[in-house]
Amino acid sequence: MRVVIVGCGRTGAMLAELLDAAGHSVLIIDIRTGAFDRLAESFKGEAVRGDGTDEGVLRRAGAADADVILFLTEGDNRNIMGAQVARDTLRPGRSFAKVNDPVRAEAYAQLGIDTVCRTTMVADTILTAIGLPATGLPALFARPEPAAGDGARSVGTGSQPAAAQEG
């Protein structure tokens, strides 16, 4: 599997190492070179400095051919923007955006991007551990299953160019 990861924080670096060790092809992007210090010496994938919301940077990183692309920077909005760039212009296999604001996480799932919310994940883990009812919110807000054709994208008003490329 070819995986592109944007954001070499704790989560990004951990996933990069695990996927690399499992034999997948991994490319990780971060805007700061220093972030790559988190990667272990044993990491055999590629590390590229650049703005991972920039279409050109993503394209050069081979994101268009990626099976999975993960947006894991510390900025919700950067992740959201990157995931929409990926979905509408690069069209990789699957993309996920980390969105820690549950309101935005849910709203953007409705707009057609899969979002992962650390806030609900941590809250539910703690609530469950101390024997209280969970939040009732998911950790992964999955976009609606595309219906016939390109249903998920038609939720957003910006769907026309993407739909046109569908061919």
Point out which residues bind other proteins (CB under 8 A). 53-56, 59-60, 75-78, 80-81, 84-85, 88-89, 101, 103-104, 107-108, 110-111, 156-158, 160-162
Tell me how crowded residue 130 is: count the other CB atoms within 10 A of its CB.
Answer: 6
Phi and psi torsions of 132, nearest 5°:
-110, 160
By beta-carbon proximity to other proteins, the closer residue of 24 and 51 is 51
Distance CA 81, CA 64 (A): 16
Sort strands 114-116 and 94-98 into parallel, antiparallel or unpaired. Answer: parallel
By beta-carbon proximity to other proteins, the closer residue of 72 and 162 is 162
Strand partners, 116: 98, 140
By beta-carbon proximity to other proteins, the closer residue of 131 and 136 is 136
Would you say 99 and 115 are in contact if contact means Cβ atoms under 8 Å apart? yes
By beta-carbon proximity to other proteins, the closer residue of 39 and 86 is 86
DSSP state of 100: -
To which residue do tokens 């991994």 refer? Answer: 26
Min separation Cβ 53 and other proteins, Å: 6
Min separation Cβ 133 and other proteins, Å: 21
Min separation Cβ 72 and other proteins, Å: 15
Min separation Cβ 76 and other proteins, Å: 7
